[in-house]
Chain A
Amino acid sequence: MQQLEIKNLRVAIGENEIIRDLSLSVGLGELHAVMGPNGSGKSTLAKVIAGHPDYKVTSGEVFMDGENLFELEPDERARKGLFLAFQYPSEVPGVTIANFLRAAMQARLPEGEELEATDYYAKLYEKMDLLEIDRSFTSRAVNEGFSGGEKKRCEILQMAMLDPRYAVLDETDSGLDIDALKVVANGVNSLRGPNLGVLLITHYQRLLNYIVPDFVHVMVQGRIVRSGGKELALELEEKGYDLIRDHAEEPVAA
């Protein structure tokens, strides 16, 4: 039961079906990589799990440790341990990272209990050091004027602060140079353990050299077309998506 379980999920935007009968389970302590070409529905999947209002779930369910996520508001899901690192994180003008994260952590405390400021800053600085983020960032507005790499690091910083049980990381590697990639990978690796399940969405094999997955799934046109161990990522790199897509497209066309 300790898993993030996606069951026969179908998602549409308007008339357009984006996720087509997708099933996938991430056990606590596991790291699953989902790889797929642009437009295959990876971000849609991530946002639906997190509860974005724009998408219509036409059938299927997502359970987190047995609890139906679709019965929870996005913020409730997060407080129960879900985290999404966005492919394109929003800017929050005028709200500093320190205040933003403080609000997020405060929201996890019981009513009437105040976040302890000293502990909070100690943890914040520790995680910033881990991710090689300059401390001056605490007083910068969330994602405002950040480079692509800074945004991605800031996402992982948030994950590190919020200690999720299940984290969906959507293309956390895109836009990073190799040094930044290593820092982010190092950050994610340091958070891995028996109490964290990760769904790592990526477009490139590159990240998987640094974050070694337990399982790899290939997603094409809204469904998982292949699953396997970490070697699948290498095979994919060798053959490309086209080969796999060729197999995948038959049932779609039918």
Chain B
Amino acid sequence: MSNGTAVLEEVTQTPAVKSTITSSPQEGADDLPLWFQQQREQGWREFSTMPNPTRKDQAWRFSNVDALDLSPYRFANAPSDDEQVEILERSAMLNGKSGRLIFANDQLLERDALPESLRKAGVIFQPLERALIEHEDLVRKHFMTQPAVLGSAKFAALHRAQVRAGAFIYVPRAVELELPIEIFHWLVDENAAVFPHLLLVADELSKITVIEHFRSFDQTAPGFACGVNDLIAGRGAMVKYICAQRWNENVTALQINATTVERDASAMSLNLHLGGSYSRFESLSRLVGEGARSDLLAVAVAHRKQEFDARTLQDHVSPHTASDLLYKNALDDRARTTFGGLIRVEPHAHFTDAYQKVRNLLLSDDAEANSMPGLEILADNVRCTHGATSGQIDEDELFYLRTRGIPVKVAQHLIVTGFLNEVVQRLDQAAIATHLHRLIEQKFASGAD
């Protein structure tokens, strides 16, 4: 029997094979609950038996499935002391926050606990491993309860098998967090793999904002990330989730989201996709209670040969629900983006209001944006609109900026920033918006060479 860190230590047996992430997880990590260990095993079985995706699957149409060769990736050790110091330094984003967790290579580096007032009010913000022990029932009730229906079932299974790091957040009834919670996940070594997990449960009438950062320590080291985040907005709750994805451009990343919105609750998520060589994002919003609302926002800035692959489902289960998706992509060089999105209005979900808008701004003739919007309406009296457009920078607009002395590249970036700003503005969170804009500017600067 191996102990709780066996995933790493098994390497000592037959390193060549066992160090990879595609070898089976340890037999019981015995301090974790049995049900969780069983989930791991089941995840492993599913992962091992499910076929690899091919482009023939509708869910993987236009996708670079070749990027999903996972054989090079392995669990990496904790970063060195020097690296840890630097990571902590570089993990300072927001001035005001309620709490913070920093992980690197799936190991916890730092924990800024919640202020006492929030802890007393019953708010839980813990590393997943700890929550599994201290709040077993609560975690068990909500842990990966939504099937991954947008193509990545195999990778969700892998996540289930290999997940070790992440955060569990619980906000009790009517408790409001004024300041956001921040979570960092870092990839550090060559071919390191991480499986970031976030489970957020916001109980009735509570209010919370969470921001997750995905970062690479090194600008070029390849890596793999396979994350899952489940957001649950209980009755009347307000949940905002922001993800700033900034892996380096040699990382392959998959992120699988499921958002469940209950009666009169609202969820808003904004995913900023900047990094990765191939980065796939699957987002499911389920509107399960009357009066529920979900805003799905995303921004991708793609350059060089980056590929961003987004698949979404706005699933209206109950009547009088609303969802609004706005995805914007700015593509330069030979970058590619794919959007496949479905609005589904289930029988009985009358009086649904659903929107889906995708806009691509092409900065280069070699960039490619694929959009596949879709509707499936099984109820009456619904209002649904969807549309995808692609265009280039308006020449007169560019000229206008240039006549003010602004050089072409700067003018283009300003126009792109403005184009993306419509999405970021919707957050209505000035400090976070400023931060996201800074990240976008850094990306522009990195592409200037």
Contact = CB atoms under 8 A, between A and B. Distances in A.
Interface of A: 50-54, 73-75, 77-79, 82-84, 86, 89-95, 99-101, 103-104, 107-108, 141, 158, 162
Nearest to A88: B396
Given A73-B402, A94-B417, 15 more contacts: A54-B395, A73-B408, A74-B399, A74-B402, A75-B403, A75-B405, A75-B408, A93-B421, A95-B418, A95-B421, A101-B404, A103-B414, A104-B401, A141-B418, A158-B404
Interface string B76-103: 0000000000000000000000000000
Contacts of B396: 90
Residue of B402, B414, B415 with highest tally of chain A CB at under 10 A: B402
B404 A94 contact: no
Given A78-B405, A95-B418, A162-B405, A107 B410 contact: yes
Contacts of B401: 92, 100, 103-104
A94 B420 contact: yes
23 contacts: A54-B395, A73-B402, A73-B408, A74-B403, A75-B403, A75-B407, A78-B402, A78-B403, A82-B403, A84-B403, A86-B400, A92-B414, A93-B419, A95-B421, A99-B414, A100-B401, A101-B404, A103-B411, A104-B401, A107-B404, A107-B410, A158-B404, A162-B405
A92 B422 contact: no
A77 B414 CA distance: 20
Interface in B362-378: none
Given A53-B395, A94-B421, A104 B400 contact: no
Interface of B: 394-397, 399-408, 410-411, 414-415, 417-422, 425
Contact of B403 (A51, A91, A95, A141): A51
A92 B408 contact: no
Contacts of A93: 418-419, 421-422
Contact of A103 (B399, B403, B406, B408): B406
For the residues of B in contact with A, the DSSP-based class is: helix
A78 B401 CA distance: 10
Nearest to B394: A90
Residue picked from A52, A94, A104, most chain B C-beta under 10 Å: A94
Nearest to B423: A94
B399 A53 contact: yes
B402 A75 contact: yes
B405 A108 contact: yes
Contacts of B394: 90
Nearest to B400: A90
B402 A95 contact: no
Contacts of B411: 75, 103
A95 B414 contact: yes
A90 B402 contact: no
A92 B418 contact: yes
B417 A89 contact: no
Contacts of A86: 400, 403
B420 A162 contact: no
Given A75-B411, A92-B397, A104 B420 contact: no
A110 to B, nearest CB: 13
Nearest to B408: A75
Contacts of B410: 103, 107
Given A91-B397, A92-B414, A99-B414, A79 B421 contact: no
Nearest to A94: B418
